[in-house]
Structure 1
Amino acid sequence: PKLIVGLTVVAYGTSAPEAVVGVQAARTQHADIALGNVIGSNIANLGLILALSVLLRPAWVSGVLRSREVPVLMLTALALPLLLLDGRVAWFESALLLALAAIYTAWMVRDARRGQQLAFAAQAGQVAASTADAAGGPPQSTQPGRALAVALLGLLLLIVGGQLFVQSATALARSWGVSERLVGLTLVAIGTSLPELATSLIASAKGHAEIAVGNVVGSNIFNVLVCLPASALAGSVGAPLAAVVPDLVALVAGTLLGCLFLRSERRITRGEGAVLLLLYLAFVAFLCLAPER
């Protein structure tokens, strides 16, 4: 189903930059960028990406997303303040989050497959037949070696790009005289969220708004359950709780509002998207204008 595609394949794939940049930042002792990237990306996903996607085309929200994914989204947002009570994300907390990510993904995929095997098989047969007819013959076999080479090349470029991105972000923070946390919450967060933005806007424009919504929800869950612990295992990630209270308040409040919009009706409207966008712009303005940021 489109929702599962958005929540897993699309969301996890588009969140790869957040994971790579977070790991690179933590490994090179830039903990503020690693943490700011996770918090800022989740805020941007809701206030910028979901908002723009809905402004482009209102999205219908499935009952499965409202009853299952939305509560998980809220719980992951509430987990962040708890994880930072002692000022850092410990290794055992990281291991627990990664285990929860594996369990959640397996549960979601198994639940989606339950009772739908026959429908999937019929649909696959129709697609294969239509493809063969259009091509004038049987479908061409895949080339696993080529696909593996492309995947490895993409991973290498992503790692190198992530390292350069972190270096550039820290250099900008020094040259602008601002904290690395501010750069992580804004520039880095928006930069690593560009794949989600492009994917969601394209999906909405083509009438697949459910993929766009699933992409945002899945990415936010992935960022907390995978990107954050992966970064913490690569190096120290954390900050004094008092220093990130405004960021966490914005994250929890924005997530709560987004969840209310997703659960209130069977669709999220342009008006609700406009509210999310305005609140995100206000958050960015606060970050830029607040003293000692």
Structure 2
Amino acid sequence: MAYLLLVVGFVLLIKGADLFVDGSSNIARLLRVPPILIGLTIVAFGTSSPEATVSIIAALEGSSDVSLGNVIGSNIFNLTLVVGIAAIIFPLKVENETIRKEIPFTLLAGGALLVVMNDMFLQGQGSNFISRSDGLIFLLFLSVFMYYVIEVALKSRQSTQAEEIPKDIKWGKNILLTLLGLAGIVFGGELVVSNGTEIAYALGMSEALVGLTIIAVGTSLPELVTSISAALKKESEIALGNIVGSNIFNILFVLGASSVITPLTVSGKVVLDVIVMLLLTILLLVFSRTNFRIGKREGAVLAIVYIVYLVYIILRN
């Protein structure tokens, strides 16, 4: 039964993502806002909702390894396989603002995570943990990011007033498409995670490994299918904006909310995974600066990097 529900989850994710990209990109046009900003906000928040649900539930149940592994594993999956596959399908155009502000903000969020989780090294404490006050700082960082996104959106709206919008693009239809797509993404993600985890535990995998692999990949499937859908529709700004925005939301909102609910204990192995995540963010920034696009070659490199990382963590655990 778990295998059947897993397949149903995949179908819901793929169809939901397709509807979500259509609806949100049309809403962007109706709002006269560039698609990159819709990717950074509505699409990113929507596709991060499975991570939020899983990590908050795990935090409430005292499973810090699952909560942290889910977020860090999801971010690494996004930076490598999601960007890689999307770029292989259709080279991703990178906006100047993404290179100058959004990817560096992702790097800042990752750097802040590395600092707050290193209590043993920085303060000489007996164990590493992310406290409630650390979580509140993350949520404050998120509010700064949202203020920036809204400010840019308002400026962009003023500069694109003259653009004509096709008459067949209607508010009601696209809001409905977006909501239906989001429902498919969230419900499909839940089915994939719960049944994928059940299968993984039956195969004898550890909690930390399940968090970094099965749950991380499962909760990142919305980002994967949404970005692939966006790449196929040549909405490359939504594809990259979705990934960058999701990673920011995962750290600042998901871990922020989880640690405010209950402080998260951090194992030594996870610190190394955060360093890997930061290095991959720098690599994405370097690739983005090459002709303001991420081509098929860079996409292939990122996809291979994920396979190497996956082999490493399976052997490590």
Of residues 18, 22, 33, the one that matches 2:55 is 22
Whole-angstrom CA distance in 2 between matches of 1:187 and 1:160: 15
Of residues 80, 93, 105, the one that matches 1:72 is 105
1:73 Cα shift? 1.3
**Conserved? CA contact 1:101–1:226, under 8 Å:** yes
Of residues 271, 289, 292, the one that matches 1:245 is 271
Please identify the structure whose Cα radius of gyration is greater.
Answer: 1
Question: What code does the residue aligned with 1:127 have?
Answer: I
**Conserved? CA contact 1:24–1:162, under 8 Å:** no
1:83 Cα shift? 1.7
Q: SS state of the match for residue 304, structure 2? A: helix
**Is 2:245 the counterpart of 1:212?**
no
Q: Deviations over 1:78-100 (max 9, x none)?
A: 22211211211111111111121
Whole-angstrom CA distance in 2 between matches of 1:82 and 1:207: 38
Of residues 165, 171, 188, the one that matches 1:127 is 165
Q: Deviations over 1:126-177 (max 9, x none)?
A: 437x239xxxxxx6x859xx97xx78x949x9589759945863x5565433
Q: SS state of the match for residue 193, structure 1? A: helix
| Residue of structure 1 in register with 2:286 after alignment | 260
**Conserved? CA contact 1:24–1:163, under 8 Å:** no
- Equivalent residues in 2 for 1:1-80, closer than 5 Å: 1-80=34-113
Unaligned runs of 5+ in 2: 1-33, 120-127
Identity fraction in percent: 35
Unaligned runs of 5+ in 1: 133-138
Whole-angstrom CA distance in 1 between matches of 2:77 and 2:189: 21
| Residue of structure 2 in register with 1:223 after alignment | 250
Whole-angstrom CA distance in 1 between matches of 2:84 and 2:155: 32
Question: What code does the residue aligned with 2:106 have?
Answer: L
| Residue of structure 2 in register with 1:202 after alignment | 229
Give me the TM-score of the superposition, normalised by structure 1.
0.84
Q: Deviations over 1:251-274 (max 9, x none)?
A: 122111112111233111111111
**Is 2:296 the counterpart of 1:270?**
yes
Number of aligned pairs?
272
Give me the TM-score of the superposition, normalised by structure 2.
0.78
Q: Could you say which structure has the greater relative contact order, defined with CA pairs below 8 angstroms and 6 or more residues apart? A: 1
Question: What code does the residue aligned with 2:277 have?
Answer: L
Whole-angstrom CA distance in 1 between matches of 2:219 and 2:192: 13
